[in-house]
Amino acid sequence: MERPAKQIRLGLSMAGHGYHHSAWLDPSVPPDGINDFGFYLNLAQVAERGLFDMVFLADFLTFTMIDIPKGVTGRTSRGSFEPVTLLSALSQLTKHVGLAATTSTTFGTPFHTARSFASLDLLSKGRAGWNVVTSFQDEEAENFGSSSILDKSTRYERAEEYVDVVLGLWDSLAPDAYVYDRASGYLFDPARVRTLNHVGKHFRVKGPLGTPRSVQGRPIIIQAGASEEGQELAARTADVVYSVQPRIEDAQRFYEGLKSRMAKYGRERDDMKIMPGLLPVIGATEQEARDRFRAMQKLIDPKVGLRYLSAIFGDLSDHDIDGPVPELRKDKPLATRAKLIHDLAKRNNWSIRQLYESTAIGNTHNTVVGTAEQVADVMQDWFLNGAADGFNLLPALSPTSVVEFVDQVVPILQARGLYRTAYTATTLRGHLGLSDPPTAHSD
Ligand SMILES: Cc1cc2nc3c(=O)[nH]c(=O)nc-3n(C[C@H](O)[C@H](O)[C@H](O)COP(=O)(O)O)c2cc1C
């Protein structure tokens, strides 16, 4: 086969026990791993052995105690570490793999975000990435002095300004600003420092930020919102986009739509890598993979299944679990994904149980149940046919699913010339093949 010029990018989402909502009940998953640094270190090291571009930590600013349906609290899988803190520790025990963390523009402040990610970028020698999210849960707002989340258009308006301020702060110091010159007595050259003096609708930030730029210039910007507002923010500012696309036709439409928005911001299509989620369930044969998936479905605690669906449909406790799926809830604004889940149920004529069994493992991401060869086939198809630049690997069960992917799928992709056989760069920007970021400093 002729070798394609470009290669697949890979990220690993290290979500706690795995993406399966009852993952911690599986005997292969250490239940206390989520509170154990060694568990995450192992995951990052396996990803590095698999030559991944980056590992990624999602984050939600609530330890939700909402008991819908009754008796569910305490049963769901979740993570506990603050992402930048955890990745800072991992940065000292990994060498190549990129380190991406989530921080919310609705609850953070741009100065803190710019500073902590610039520090992670220095600590890791140019491997940091920031997943920009706007958050969507009222329970998160309750931890920040409010009873409900801001409406979506205000959240995205704030996010647009927030990202600009952070980018401006990261450009405070020219690469040669620190001169460390004992002879002249100058530690840094004030002429090579830019004071931002930002005054906007949501923020007033003077700057400058004193953290010097890393070897990759600044951290990578990642975005995961798929709404109109989310796509505009991504088209203007994102280096990487995580998306939820269960089917190749939808993924191609999303890919083309998002890439074609970039020109009006003066950006080339290749300046952004689109990486949909991929959840593989691998077996030695297709039948074995199906049996494993079925066993995983049986593991889902029905209360946890209903809890997962409650965000979309409200409390379903009084519904027949084997009856039809109701209409979407109307009392709350819903994320783009809610409609996707509802459409899936209608299209397949699923019952409530069938719906959560089909979606609570992969969270509506592209779930491929088959042999390692079949997983590689799907990745190749999406990559070569305008649906993806790479994939965000979502392990059903951690660490088992990650080890299986690295040992079984990675060698197949390498043999097909679709994936690197060694790291050729030292920074996350380098792994992703992105060019240097623009700077307001003259040479
Ligand atoms: C792969 C992926 C990861 C995400 N991770 C987070 C996260 O860690 N924290 C968060 O608050 N939202 C997260 N989101 C949600 C999005 O950032 C966004 O808020 C959500 O999709 C709703 O916005 P939208 O309507 O623009 O899609 C994630 C979304 C996707 C697709």
Domain boundary residue, one of 360, 375, 403: 360
The verdict on residue 334 lying in a domain is: yes
Most confident of 57-66, 78-87, 403-412: 403-412
Co-location of 50 and 93 in the same domain = yes
Tokens of 18: 């795995």
Which is it for strands 178-181 and 128-133: parallel, antiparallel or unpaired? unpaired
The verdict on residue 295 lying in a domain is: no
Co-location of 380 and 352 in the same domain = no
Domain boundary residue, one of 360, 381, 409: 360
- Per the structure, the complete domain to which residue 275 belongs is given by 9-282+365-432
What is the reported pLDDT for 332?
77
Co-location of 131 and 277 in the same domain = yes
Mean pLDDT, to the nearest integer, of 32-46? 97
Query: pLDDT tens-digit profile of 108-154?
Result: 999 999 999 999 999 999 999 999 999 999 999 999 999 999 999 99
- Predicted confidence (pLDDT) at residue 3 exceeds the cutoff of 60: no
Query: pLDDT band at residue 197, thresholds of 50, 70 and 90?
Result: very high
Query: pLDDT tens-digit profile of 298-347?
Result: 999 999 999 999 988 889 999 999 999 998 888 777 777 788 888 889 99
Among 129, 207, 132, CA closest to 427:
129
Report how far ligand 1's centroid is from the alpha carbon of 83 (Å): 15
Report how far ligand 1's centroid is from the alpha carbon of 268 (Å): 24
Co-location of 335 and 215 in the same domain = no
Co-location of 265 and 401 in the same domain = yes
For ligand 1, say whether the CB of 133 is within 6 Å of any of its atoms: yes
Query: pLDDT band at residue 266, thresholds of 50, 70 and 90?
Result: very high
Co-location of 132 and 19 in the same domain = yes
In which residue are the tokens 């989530």 written? 102
The verdict on residue 4 lying in a domain is: no
In which residue are the tokens 């019952």 written? 351
For ligand 1, say whether the CB of 244 is within 6 Å of any of its atoms: yes
Please tell me the distance from the alpha carbon of residue 136 to that of residue 155, in angstroms, as a whole number. Answer: 9
Nearest CA to ligand 1 atom 14: 224
Measured CA to CA in angstroms, residue 30 lies from 24, 34, 81, 212, 215 at distances of 7, 8, 16, 39, 37
What is the reported pLDDT for 362?
86
Domain boundary residue, one of 325, 342, 360: 360
What is the reported pLDDT for 331?
79
Measured CA to CA in angstroms, residue 293 lies from 25, 362, 377, 385, 397 at distances of 14, 11, 19, 27, 11
Whether 178 has a binding-site annotation, put simply, is no
Co-location of 307 and 215 in the same domain = no
What is the reported pLDDT for 421?
97
Query: pLDDT tens-digit profile of 67-76?
Result: 999 999 999 8
What is the reported pLDDT for 15?
86
- Predicted confidence (pLDDT) at residue 348 exceeds the cutoff of 80: yes
The verdict on residue 188 lying in a domain is: yes
For ligand 1, say whether the CB of 418 is within 6 Å of any of its atoms: no
The verdict on residue 437 lying in a domain is: no
Rounded to 5°, angle at Cα 218 from 214 and 221: 145
Q: What angle in degrees, to the nearest 10, is found between the helix axes of 110-123 and 83-91? A: 20
What is the reported pLDDT for 1?
44
The verdict on residue 323 lying in a domain is: yes
Which of 102, 133, 229, 332 has the most ligand 1 atoms within 8 A of CB, as the residue to mutate? 133
Co-location of 380 and 399 in the same domain = yes
What is the reported pLDDT for 5?
65
Co-location of 131 and 237 in the same domain = yes
Co-location of 183 and 313 in the same domain = no
> What's 15's domain CATH number?
3.20.20.30
Co-location of 103 and 188 in the same domain = yes
Co-location of 391 and 330 in the same domain = no
Domains in the chain, number: 2
